[in-house]
Amino acid sequence: MSTYLVAMMTVHDPDTYRKYTDRTPATVKKHGGRFLTRGQEVSTLEGEPYEGRMVILEFPSTTAAQAWLADPDYEEAATFRHVSSTMSMLLMQDGGDNTENPDPKL
């Protein structure tokens, strides 16, 4: 089952941030991941307007997503992200098979 990673960031140094985005695709692919979105425009439908950058990744498993985060090549790339942006990263672990009528108590 797929695992999804959602990253929401505010970029304050675009030139340095580009050093991160230039290196990231190869590391994602190496771990079987793929970009579902990568910085496209986000529309807020409810709540406070979101004006940052959002990226959604899909990995074949939680293990693959965690391996990507621990990969030395990704860790090196992430140093550029750390100095050029602030970010929240969420991991939606292995979704269930029942998406038609999921348990309403969850």
In the chain, domain spans: 3-92
What pairs with residue 57 in β-bridges? 5, 35
pLDDT tens digits, residue range 7-19?
A: 999 999 999 999 9
- Which is higher by pLDDT, 106 or 88? 88
pLDDT tens digits, residue range 62-84?
A: 999 999 999 999 999 999 999 99
DSSP assignment string, 7-68: EEEEES-HHHHHHHHHHHHHHHHHTT-EEEEES------SSSPP-SEEEEEEESSHHHHHHH
Model pTM score: 0.85
- pLDDT reported for residue 80: 98
CATH for 3-92, options being 3.90.580.10, 3.40.190.10, 3.30.70.100, 3.40.47.10: 3.30.70.100
Where do we find the tokens 């979704």? Answer: 95
